[in-house]
Homo-oligomer: A and B are copies of this chain.
Amino acid sequence: MSSEGRTTRQQVAVRAALDSSAEFVSAQQLHAELRAAGERVGLATVYRALGKMSEGGEVDVLVRPDGETLYRSCSSGHHHHLICRGCGTTVEVAAPSVERWARDVAEREGFSDVSHTVELVGLCRACSQAVDMAP
């Protein structure tokens, strides 16, 4: 498995940096961290490395509402987010039933190596009340 291409110092560094974070991080963040750690890596290279890993299904990819792409090495503690569209508060939620459903659907459709993204967006209690009181 994984016979494509050559392995370079930079690719190893990017993968290591990604593994060291349990959360989703952006390419720019990774690049900054690598630079801060003394690694000499170009931003474009970070993008290229992440692109390859993502093609190979080795990382989970997530696109934020503002268009920034976030990456996380697969199989970290897995959970989803419930986000308030008023104040941005984020609540982490586990979803064993959704995981199961995703696996079943994938199998039924003949897909393999499936990852999933789930996002819930709503109004938290506080913001909901703020709306009711609007002028």
Contacts and interface: CB of A to CB of B under 8 A. Distances in A.
A22 interface: no
What does DSSP make chain A's interface, helix, strand, loop or mixed? mixed
Contacts of A54: 85
Task: State the 8 A-B residue pairs at the shortest beta-carbon distance, nearest first.
Answer: A114-B122, A111-B122, A67-B67, A110-B125, A63-B63, A117-B119, A116-B120, A112-B128
Interface residues of A, number: 44
A61 B123 CA distance: 15
Contacts of A124: 109-111
B93 A3 contact: no
Contacts of A61: 65, 121
